[in-house]
């Protein structure tokens, strides 16, 4: 799948959510990476047809997104809304199938088995957050979309549940193309063919994880300092910090801190560097 944004803009009254956004990304799994209020949800809602853009357009495989495309999309928002978690998942999926004219509880059971939920014969209201997210994705997939849009599908999940959902998305890449938003670079690095990084409604970088990561080469450093409070305002950007006995181990991007040494970059380093550069441009 090829997703293109051409001079895309979106404004809510006095608030501008997307600013002349242009990008071109390819793949079966595409990640939209950015902080809160970077424009991720707005972009997904424009693609899904929930919001008309103020200017520009979105194209899929070279064609402007139309009602025909959107008939083959499924959108899973960040908030579950009124989803029927009070039901057993098999009941929820069986009802969705019956609305499509498919009367087969065996099909629903096979679907749940594939998601690792086949042994759960209870109301989904008692499920963990990650298991509930799986049920929501299963419900979206019952409608056999060609494109699955997910807004922050790993929000609120612990480390174990996040990777369970990521594995599910990775296994779904064969029957369906996926676009999902996240503010965690490591989630995007794990399964995405290509990534679009947004910052304050603008596209600041796009490409495969390796290409984006390479843009931080020579700008990533590690240093150990005597234990003290985390530094406040500095000329360099802090990516991570770990306390170890009497020392604080820092990983930074941009200008090298004192007594630091360069290290190979990761996607998280490139994300911090690239979004920080554009913040300074505003």
Tokens of residue 125, six digits: 């209201």
Question: Which of 151-175 are b and which e, b meaning 16 or more Cβ less than 10 Å from the residue's Cβ?
Answer: bbbbeebeeebbbbbbebbbebeee
Q: What is the pLDDT of residue 265?
A: 97
Task: Give the bridge partners for 223, in sequence order.
Answer: 250
Q: What is the pLDDT of residue 261?
A: 95
CB 183 within 8 A of CB 168: no
Q: Domains (ranges, CATH) in the chain? A: 2-85+127-213 (3.40.50.300), 214-281 (no CATH)
Report the DSSP pairing between strands 55-60 and 63-64. antiparallel
Give the mean pLDDT of the chain: 86
Mean pLDDT of 162-187: 90
Please tell me the predicted confidence (pLDDT) of residue 58.
95
Residues in Cβ contact with 224 at an 8 Å cutoff, skipping those fewer than 6 apart: 244, 247, 248, 249, 250, 259
pLDDT of residue 100: 64
Strand partners, 181: 32
pLDDT category of residue 2 using cuts at 50, 70 and 90: very high
State the pLDDT at residue 137.
Answer: 82
Which range, of 45-49, 79-83, 194-198, averages the lowest pLDDT? Answer: 79-83
Q: How many CB atoms lie within 10 A of CB 127?
A: 17
The pLDDT > 70 percentage for the chain reads 89
- Give the pLDDT band (50/70/90) at residue 157: confident
Can you give the pLDDT at residue 142? Answer: 77
pLDDT digits (tens, 9 = 90+) for 71-129: 899 998 877 666 777 777 777 777 777 766 666 657 677 777 766 777 777 787 888 88
In contact, 177 and 1? CB cutoff 8 Å: yes
pLDDT grade for 59, boundaries at 50, 70 and 90: very high
In what order do the strands lie in the sheet containing 247-254?
236-244, 247-254, 220-226, 261-262
């Amino acid at each position: 799948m090829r997703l293109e944004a051409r001079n895309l803009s979106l404004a809510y009254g006095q608030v501008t959510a997307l600013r002349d956004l242009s990008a071109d990304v390819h793949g079966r799994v595409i990640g939209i990476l950015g902080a809160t209020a970077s424009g991720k949800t707005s972009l997904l809602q424009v693609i899904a047809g929930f919001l008309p853009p103020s200017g520009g357009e979105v194209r899929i495989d070279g064609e402007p997104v139309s009602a025909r495309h959107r008939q083959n999309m499924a959108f899973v928002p960040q908030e579950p809304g009124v989803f029927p978690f009070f039901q057993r998942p098999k009941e929820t999926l069986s009802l969705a199938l019956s609305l499509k004219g498919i009367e087969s509880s065996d099909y629903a059971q096979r679907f749940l088995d594939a998601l690792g939920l086949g042994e759960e014969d209870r109301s989904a209201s008692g499920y963990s957050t990650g298991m509930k997210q799986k049920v929501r994705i299963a419900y979206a997939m019952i409608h056999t979309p060609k494109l699955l849009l997910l807004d922050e599908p790993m929000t609120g999940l612990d480390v174990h549940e996040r990777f369970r959902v990521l594995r599910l998305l990775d296994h779904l890449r064969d029957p369906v193309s996926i676009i999902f938003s996240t503010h965690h670079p490591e989630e995007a690095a794990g399964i995405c063919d290509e990534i679009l990084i947004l910052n304050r409604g603008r596209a600041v970088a796009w490409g495969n994880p390796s290409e984006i990561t390479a843009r931080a080469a020579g700008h990533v450093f590690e240093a150990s300092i005597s234990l003290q409070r985390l530094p406040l305002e500095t000329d360099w950007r802090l990516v991570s910090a770990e306390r170890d006995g009497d020392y604080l181990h820092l990983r930074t991007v941009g200008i090298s801190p004192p007594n630091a040494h360069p290290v190979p970059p990761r996607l998280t380093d490139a994300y911090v560097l690239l979004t920080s550069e554009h913040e300074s441009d505003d």
